[in-house]
Every structure is written in C-alpha cells, then in structure tokens.
Amino acid sequence: MDAGHSYLLSYRPKPLPDELFSSWLIRVAHAQGLKLQTFCHMMWPEAMIWNRDCDRCASPELRSSLADMTGVAVARADATLLTSYEGILFRRSVKNGHTKWILPLGVFHRVRRRNGLQYCPQCLADATPYFRRAWRLSLYTLCERHQCLLRDECPHCKRPVHPHRGEMGDRKRMAPMGNEFCWMCGGDLRDVGLGKPIPESLLSLQRYHSSLLKRDIGVSSSGDSCLYFDCLAHILQLVTSKRPRMARFRELLSQGSGVEITSIEPKASCPLHFDAFSTYERAQILQAVAWLFEDWPGRFRALIILGKLRSSDLSGEHKQLPEWFSSAIRRPMRYKANLLPGHRPFRGNPESSEFEDGFGPSEFLRSKLVPADYTETKTRIGADLAREGAHGK
Ligand SMILES: [Zn+2]
Ligand SMILES: [Zn+2]
C-alpha cells in the first residue's frame, strides 16, 4: 500500500454515533484483517499515533487521510476528536498539557497510566462494541441509555482500559481480541455485577449536560455554555478543595444532600482537581452538586451561612462568573440556616425566578420538565450520520 495517499479501502467502517477517533481507527484496521500496529505502520509510517493521546491531538493530515480512505467527510472525522468540544465545553483545548474536563490518560510511551477511558459494560455488549467520545469526559459518570455507572478499569485486574493494546506485543495473536476484553488479563469488561440504582438527580444533571453538549432540544438556544461549564468546574473545585474552610463546606454539603463525599480526599497539589477522581467519586460529587442545583441559591446560601464563608472564599481568582453564581455569593444572607439534621430542606425558593441568565441551575430545573426520552431524539450530528449511513455504503 502506498503510505499516506488517499484511496478507498475495501472495507470502510464509518464512525458510529459519538464514536471516539481511536475506537474508529481500531475498527478500520481490524476490518482490513490487519493488526492495528501493522495497519498504522503501513498507512502512516512516520506518524506518531499511539505514544500520545490521539483522541486529543491526531494531526489534520491523519484525520483527513483516514476520512478519505473510508469515504467519510473530513468534518465527520473531526467530530470524533475531543477537540470538537471546543466552544461548547471549553473555549480552547490545550495542545501540550491538561484540558479541563478531559480525563487524562497519563500517556507514557505506549502505556496509559491513568484510568482516562471509561466504558459502559452494557454498551460493550452491543453487536459492534465501540468507545464513545463522551466516555473521555470527567463530567460523564453514567450511561444514560442503560442508566448504570460507567467503569474506569478492568473488573478483573483493575488496570486502565486500553483498547489499542488488544493484540500489541503478541506475535502469536493475529486476531484482535475485541473491544469488550481487557488488553492485560483478557477478562471480559462486561463482566460486572449489577450496580446500585442511579439517583434521579444525578441522571437529570447528566442529561442536562448532554443536552448542552449536543446543543439539543429542551434547553434555551441562547447562552454561553462554556461560561456555565467554567462555573461548574469552579463549584466542583470548591467542593473538592483542600482548604480547611472548604472542608467544612464539604461536610455540610454531605450532610444536607445525604451523599457521602467527606471521605473523598482531594489529591494533594494535583492540578487536575476533579478530573483526577475515579468515576465513582465524581458521581458522588456531582450528585451532591445536583442537590444544590435543585434549590439554587437557597441551599447554597444556607451552606455559606453555616460554614461562615466569605464571598472571597467562594469567588476564588475567577474573573468571569455567571450572574446566577456571583449574585448567590454576593447577596445579603436572608436565609435561616435550617439544614442541620432534623430540619426540613429548603423548598420553593422565592428567588429562583431571578436567575434566568442562560445556562444554569434554573434552566437545569426547567429541563427536568422535558419528557425523559428527549435524549433519544436524533441530534444534529446523529441525523447527519443516519443520512450518510443510508447513502454512503
Ligand atoms: Zn450503556
Ligand atoms: Zn484485566
């Protein structure tokens, strides 16, 4: 084969809905009956693909070459990368370093040292198991389709999931193992017990976030989603802060929400903050935040009073915070702190309607009124895929 030149492959798998670049590339290689490394070496002998996070930084040449070979539009190939969240989840992705919300892989040569790729055991039981783009986000802890917690390690050997290493380094093994098996121990990744039911508040919050990321229906069309996600990251940073004052806040939040988060130890001087926690820990923290959002700003203010926090404790060094957050920490504290055990939580906050500035807690609450199956409707990208699938085979 002629390296790097465009021609159509005999077998041309297209990216599946929300498929991650690396997952697609693996399927393309295996569809030709080749090992992944052999395929990549034949096609792009000079390219550095697996010794970096290719889902973040695959070169434009690699993307367009794979798009040409498989007969898909370059825009569709680009949509498999994590950089496609630019302008929606974060403003710019960081080329060399950590991008907020993206789970770090801890790439060291061809090894990944961190649990940066999550998966749903039930989605991997589909006829064509593949890895989703959203599974690389710290914001995602659930599969909305199967309503189960995502996993971030092999249930057997507890190693991170590395689908690209399925047959790597094993000369005898020609056939790939399949995405549903652990590269290290060969164990079945789907082999997990039934987990606890997912709390409704956590599911609703993730659905809200999905609708923002997909620019979906059910939320207002105006607003700056990056500003919302920046502020959410700020709140998560406050909740997981090592500062003693914020430890008290975490304790009160745990008490009020009934979600155990006090034992979730912030990593010492870890610049990754929330993105460094396990899936289970992030799910706990997000559930506690969902509880705050369900009666914003009443519950948040009550914690501020009980924790004797100043607005400077809460604003941090953030220059730009949305009005729904800055007014919640700025306004006079008129609420009675009745969140201690034995007291009923806040209900029907009279000020909720004041916070109408685009994406935020009040819109999250409104989105909960949209019928739950709205996540099943085809997104813009989903509809494009369906059209292309119908004509492009
Ligand atoms: Zn699933
Ligand atoms: Zn394993």
pLDDT digits (tens, 9 = 90+) for 257-306: 999 999 887 766 566 689 989 999 999 999 999 999 999 998 999 999 88
- Give the other-Cβ count within 10 Å of 4's Cβ: 13
What are the tokens at 391?
């004509």
Q: Are residues 241 and 158 in the same domain?
A: no
CA-CA distance, 374 to 273, in Å (whole number)? 32
Q: Are residues 92 and 225 in the same domain?
A: no
pLDDT at residue 87 greater than cutoff 50? yes
What lies within 8 Å, CB to CB, of 51 at 6+ separation is 107, 109, 110
Using an 8 Å Cβ cutoff, are 286 and 205 in contact? Answer: yes
Question: For the chain, what is the largest distance between any 2 Cα atoms, rounded to a whole number of angstroms?
Answer: 73
- The closest of 380, 322, 383, 306 to 354, measured between CA atoms, is 322
User: CA separation (Å) from 85 to 22, 180, 210, 286?
Assistant: 16, 26, 12, 20
Q: Say what the pLDDT of residue 28 is.
A: 95
CA-CA distance, 263 to 258, in Å (whole number)? 13
Q: Where are the alpha helices (DSSP H) in 191-243?
A: 200-213, 225-239
DSSP classification of residue 383:
H
Q: Are residues 386 and 257 in the same domain?
A: yes
Q: Are residues 298 and 362 in the same domain?
A: yes
pLDDT at residue 335 greater than cutoff 60? no
Question: pTM of the predicted model, to two decimals?
Answer: 0.84
CA-CA distance, 226 to 90, in Å (whole number)? 5
What is the chain's mean pLDDT, rounded?
81
Q: Are residues 156 and 211 in the same domain?
A: no
CA-CA distance, 301 to 318, in Å (whole number)? 19
Distance (Å) from CA 40 to ligand 2 centroid: 25
Q: Are residues 255 and 352 in the same domain?
A: yes
Q: Say what the pLDDT of residue 268 is.
A: 62
Q: Ligand nearest 198 Cα, by number?
A: 1
Q: Are residues 137 and 44 in the same domain?
A: yes
Using an 8 Å Cβ cutoff, are 269 and 358 in contact? Answer: no
Structural domain of 377: 200-392
Q: Are residues 343 and 209 in the same domain?
A: yes
| Residue tagged 């990744």 (tokens) | 189
Q: Are residues 35 and 88 in the same domain?
A: yes
CA-CA distance, 116 to 104, in Å (whole number)? 5
Q: Ligand nearest 185 Cα, by number?
A: 2
Q: Where are the alpha helices (DSSP H) in the chain?
A: 21-31, 36-43, 54-57, 60-70, 74-78, 200-213, 225-239, 244-257, 279-293, 298-306, 311-315, 323-330, 361-367, 380-391
Pick the range with the lowest mean pLDDT from 178-182, 208-212, 275-279. 178-182
Q: Are residues 156 and 219 in the same domain?
A: no
pLDDT over 70 percentage in the chain: 78
Using an 8 Å Cβ cutoff, are 58 and 49 in contact? Answer: yes
Distance (Å) from CA 7 to ligand 1 centroid: 35
Q: Is residue 261 part of a domain?
A: yes
DSSP classification of residue 143:
E
Mean pLDDT on 311-336: 77
Q: Are residues 253 and 132 in the same domain?
A: no
Beta bridge partners of 149: 142
Q: Which of 205-214, 323-332, 369-378 has the highest mean pLDDT?
A: 205-214
CA-CA distance, 174 to 232, in Å (whole number)? 46
Q: Is residue 16 part of a domain?
A: no
CA-CA distance, 304 to 292, in Å (whole number)? 12
Q: Say what the pLDDT of residue 330 is.
A: 82
In 172-192, which positions are buried (b, 16+ CB within 10 angstroms) versus exposed (e)?
eeeebeebbbbbeeeebbbeb
Distance (Å) from CA 119 to ligand 1 centroid: 8
Prior bond to 297 cis, omega within 30?
A: yes
Grade residue 218 by pLDDT with cuts at 50, 70 and 90.
very low
Distance (Å) from CA 52 to ligand 1 centroid: 27
Q: Is residue 194 part of a domain?
A: no
Q: Ligand nearest 126 Cα, by number?
A: 1
Distance (Å) from CA 151 to ligand 2 centroid: 12
- By the CB criterion, residues less than 5 angstroms from ion ligand 2 are 154, 156-157, 182, 184-185, 187
Q: Are residues 234 and 357 in the same domain?
A: yes
Q: Say what the pLDDT of residue 317 is.
A: 72
CA-CA distance, 190 to 212, in Å (whole number)? 29
**335 vs 15, residue with greater confidence:** 15
> Number of structural domains, the chain?
2
- The closest of 298, 300, 258, 294 to 369, measured between CA atoms, is 294
Pick the range with the lowest mean pLDDT from 105-119, 171-185, 262-276. 171-185
What lies within 8 Å, CB to CB, of 199 at 6+ separation is 287, 290
Using an 8 Å Cβ cutoff, are 139 and 175 in contact? Answer: no
Length of the chain: 393
